[in-house]
Amino acid sequence: MGVRLLVQSDGDRAASQSVRTTAPTLIVPVHAGIAQLQLGAEQHLVDRSSWVLVPAGTRAVVQAKSPVTHTLLLSLSVGLRTAVVRAYGGEIQLTRFDRYVTEVQIMARTNWVNELAHRYLFERAVCKKRDNVATAFLEMELVKEVYFLCHERYTERERASVVEQKTTLAERAVAIVEAHLFEADIVQRLQRGCGASPSSLLRTFKRELGHSPLTYIRARRLDESLLLLKSKRYAVGEVATMVGYKNFAAFSQAFRARFDMKPSEVTAAAR
């Protein structure tokens, strides 16, 4: 699989780059950037929710629309498509695949595609690897996903993108806890942000996380207190206040119950 990474800024002369594809090519923005793709008279905005397949022989103009845009270009050789067809037997049809890659395809960026693209970029650009076990697996998975995402579009079973997929109540709750971990009104924020009753939150936390919301929050605060103590930037009393304990003795007791050591032992070991 041929690979090229465009790094562009919307404020410099290289903000717009013209690319001529010699094989069907995937255009995948990585990180949080947004790119504008000009394909003849067609114009598409491509971001972390999508990726685009363009046919061989296409002249594509890729323009940065974010302060910095990283766009990954991955070309799909005939040999690679044939290898995927062989590996998946009757599940993937080469004639159908060949038809899909002759048209512009704008596809949802699923979680799996997102992980594959970032890992492949890491292997090729950072580790400087190619034709090893890791890159071979990633290439096969990316090509397989291209086929099935295209096929699902044609059979009207298109999957949701990574930004459209619904999160569970537990995931939303944990995200709110992490964002407001040290705030006094965290429980009220949790109820408002999740749009759930106290009883629903209690059941969800117990089932998914094994603790009540308050127990989970206290444990997470103590986790952070350990890191703060290890940083050697704060005294034990300061850390106790930072993680929501007004009483030093109560903090010391809770810390010892969780980690089987005194806070002062952590600071002594960190010196």
73-99 burial by CB neighbour count: b if 16+ within 10 A, else e? bbbbeeebbeebbeeeeeebeeeebee
CA dihedral 230, 234, 237, 238 (to 10 degrees): -120
CA distance 132 to 114: 21
Per-residue model confidence (pLDDT) at position 250? 94
Sorted by where each starts, the structural domains of the chain and their CATH numbers stand as: 2-154 (2.60.120.810), 169-270 (1.10.10.60)
- pLDDT tens by residue, the chain, 271 residues: 888 888 887 766 667 889 999 999 999 888 778 888 999 888 988 888 888 999 999 999 998 888 888 888 999 988 888 999 999 877 888 888 999 999 998 888 888 888 888 898 888 888 888 888 999 999 999 999 999 988 888 876 655 655 555 568 888 899 899 989 988 889 899 988 988 888 989 998 988 888 999 999 999 999 999 989 988 888 999 999 999 998 899 999 999 999 999 999 987 775 5
Give the closest residue to 203 by CA, choosing from 191, 212, 192: 212
User: Does the pTM exceed 0.85?
Assistant: no
CA distance 220 to 239: 14
Per-residue model confidence (pLDDT) at position 54? 93
Whether the CB-CB separation of 51 and 28 falls below 8 Å is answered with yes
CA distance 224 to 177: 13
CA distance 151 to 157: 8
Whether the CB-CB separation of 68 and 29 falls below 8 Å is answered with no
Per-residue model confidence (pLDDT) at position 164? 59
Count Cβ atoms below 10 Å from residue 14 Cβ, excluding itself: 10
What kind and span of H or E run contains 70? strand 69-75
